[in-house]
Amino acid sequence: MPAAPAIAGRSPPGSTEPVLRRVSQGRDGAVASTLELGDHRCDVSTRALVMGILNRTTDSFFDKGEFFHLDAFLRRADELVGAGADLLDVGGVKAGPGPEITEAEELDRVVPAIEALRRRFDLPLSVDTWRASVAKEAFAAGAVLGNDISGLADPDYLAVTAAAGASVVVTHIRLAPRVPDPEPEYANGDVLAAVEAFLVERAARAVSAGLRPQQVILDAGLDLGKTWQQSLILLRASDQLAALGHPLLLSASNKTFLGKLLDLEVTERREATVAAHALGITLGCRIVRAHDVLGTVRVRDVIAALLASGS
């Protein structure tokens, strides 16, 4: 098994006491306590939200197109909501390399799906897109969150989001979605400093565009322009990123860095994902994007009880 990387200035993996101390520090005010998703005002001081993943793609790395057709998509949505999802994230284009998906194709995938979900559930809906034009139509259809893994590459994204009164996920990425980045390098070898500076700048840009701090969500972008070791560093530093003044999203579910760490195929990463979610929530992540909603809800509820009992 590959060795987990050490983090400069911090205890090596396996030392739990510093992590527990940092959790206590987070309860004293470092972690954002409120999140706005449309008309929903969420207290996330100790309880994270679980975001169920819904892909209308033919080539998702995990479900391989199983839920592409709308009837299967809606059955999957029923399962996720029944398992306790707090919100649903709808995507029509996968993040990794693959065949070109036009704007029209993406719209055809996500807008009818969001309209159907809006009729079916009273839950916040997110659209996973980096195109401002798609986000605009998704907001009109009922989405209240734009999950943009491009790091606001589209210059119109924030204006569209602000005009709709929606919220945004600001994600760190080194290059761009769908562009391979197998050997990412960062100044002085410090991925955490690079990600933190990027997120601070993009969050300030979002607030300047008219969004409130509680409408701006940060995501370190695990696996997006990172080696598996860099993703581990960022996960373990979630408390530092959660202290930047905005809710922090964790997107680790079944990802490559977990497979590389334990030499697991994508279908074998459930327990590794649960462990990543547990650590992330403990260190201040307040939205967890998950395939296994039920398992993540159970982990979340245990940690919420522990954090609340110690406050």
Q: What is the pLDDT of residues 51-70, one digit of tens each?
A: 999 999 887 766 766 888 99
Q: Taking residues 229-238, what's their average pLDDT?
A: 97
| Domain count across the chain | 1
What is the band of 9 on the pLDDT scale with cuts at 50, 70, 90? very low
> Is 11 contained in some domain?
no
User: Residue 39: its pLDDT value, please?
Assistant: 95
The CA-based dihedral angle spanning residues 140, 143, 148, 149, taken in that order and rounded to the nearest 10 degrees: -140
Predicted local distance difference test score (pLDDT) of residue 178:
85
Instruction: Find the mean pLDDT for residues 16-22.
Output: 46
Provide the pLDDT confidence category of residue 91 given band limits of 50, 70 and 90: very high
Across the chain, what does the average pLDDT equal?
90
Average pLDDT over residues 6-27: 42
Of the given ranges (27-36, 166-175, 213-222), which has the lowest mean pLDDT? 27-36
Radius of gyration from C-alpha coordinates of the chain: 18
CA-wise closest residue to 79 among 53, 111, 61, 56: 53
| Chain segment 128-158, per-residue pLDDT in tens | 999 999 999 999 999 999 999 999 999 999 9
Res. 27: pLDDT tops 70: no
Buried b (16+ CB within 10 A) or exposed e, 191-221: bbebbbebbbebbeebbebebeebbbbbbbb
pLDDT at position 257: 96
User: Is 15 among the domain residues?
Assistant: no
Q: Are 175 and 225 in contact (CB under 8 A)?
A: yes
Does residue 267 belong to any structural domain of this protein? yes
- What percent of the chain clears pLDDT 90, i.e. is strictly above it? 79
CA-based angle 287:17:231, to the nearest 5? 45
> Which are the catalytic amino acids?
255, 289
Query: Over pLDDT 70: what percentage of the chain?
Result: 88
> Residue 66 CA to chain centroid, in angstroms?
21
In this prediction, residues 204-211 reach a mean pLDDT of: 98
Does the residue 5 lie in any domain? no
Distance CA 57, CA 109 (A): 8
Rounded Cα distance between 21 and 202, Å, is 29
Query: 164 in a domain, yes or no?
Result: yes
Residue 310's pLDDT is 66
- Domain-embedded: residue 10: no
Instruction: State the CATH number of the domain containing residue 191.
Output: 3.20.20.20
Residue-range definition of the domain harbouring residue 146: 20-309
